[in-house]
Structure 1
Amino acid sequence: MQRDYQELLILRNINQNTSQPRLAKEVGFSVGKVNFIIKALVDKGLLKCDRFISSNNKMKYSYLLTDDGIREKMVLTKKFIDRKKTEYEELQREYEIDVAKWGKTK
């Protein structure tokens, strides 16, 4: 899986009250991988992370996309859509070649 796509999944699914285990489950990554990507996003200035103590005295984190993070999410989303359009067009061409050679399926 490409790094851009992994970051896009995190940027799309993270919110202020997201826990890393919950986020890992939503995107299908290990908690360690989510933690690694979140740290990279924080280092890039795309995500802000604040610690706080919850009502049951546990240390928790609050996540917030920065303005740069919002822009990067938009850029990565556009790249993803463009890549999927290209893949679709290639599959469509292959399908048309197969139909010309073998005829349509039922």
Structure 2
Amino acid sequence: MMNNEDHLKVLNKINKEKKISQRLLSKKLGISLGKINYCLKELKKKGFVKIRNFNQSKKKIKYLYVLTPKGLQQKTKITIKFMKQKMQEYESLKKDLEN
């Protein structure tokens, strides 16, 4: 099971680089290839990502990952939640240091 932080990383990277392979996503994000594959399937099932093939060669099929409007909305929602969590952690640490 992937956490929201991993989903956010994948959604952000797809939003920036649409023509990116799962292998490159894995390398750039430091997440295993199997986990990336699982995440993309999950995001597609939830309607956050569309997956289209854009180039078919004899060796491999290349895919284009596109965030749907629902995916962009989810990315924003996760980002806000993540930022709130980090601010709470910061305030907690700040309190601890003051005492």
Same fold (TM over 0.5): yes
Higher relative contact order (CA 8 A, sep 6+): 2
- Pairs within 5 Å for 1:1-106: 3-14=3-14, 15-54=17-56, 58-97=60-99
Q: What RMSD, in angstroms, separates the aligned Cα atoms of the two structures?
A: 1.8
Q: Which has the greater radius of gyration? A: 1
Aligned residue-pair number: 97
Most deviating of 25-34 and 38-47 = 25-34
Gaps of 5+ in 1: 98-106
CA deviation profile, 1:32-75 (whole Å, cap 9, x unmatched):
10000000000000000012334676311100000000000000
Aligned to 1:29, the other structure's residue is in SS state coil
Amino acid at match of 1:5: E
Aligned to 1:40, the other structure's residue is in SS state helix
* Aligned residue number for residue 104 of structure 1: none
Distance 1:26 1:16 in 2: 14
Amino acid at match of 1:84: K
Aligned to 2:12, the other structure's residue is in SS state helix
Find runs of 4+ consecutive structure 1 residues off by over 2 angstroms: 52-58
- Compute the displacement of 1:3 (Å): 1.3
Determine what percentage of the aligned residue pairs are the same residue. 38
Question: What's the TM-score once normalised by structure 1's chain length?
Answer: 0.84
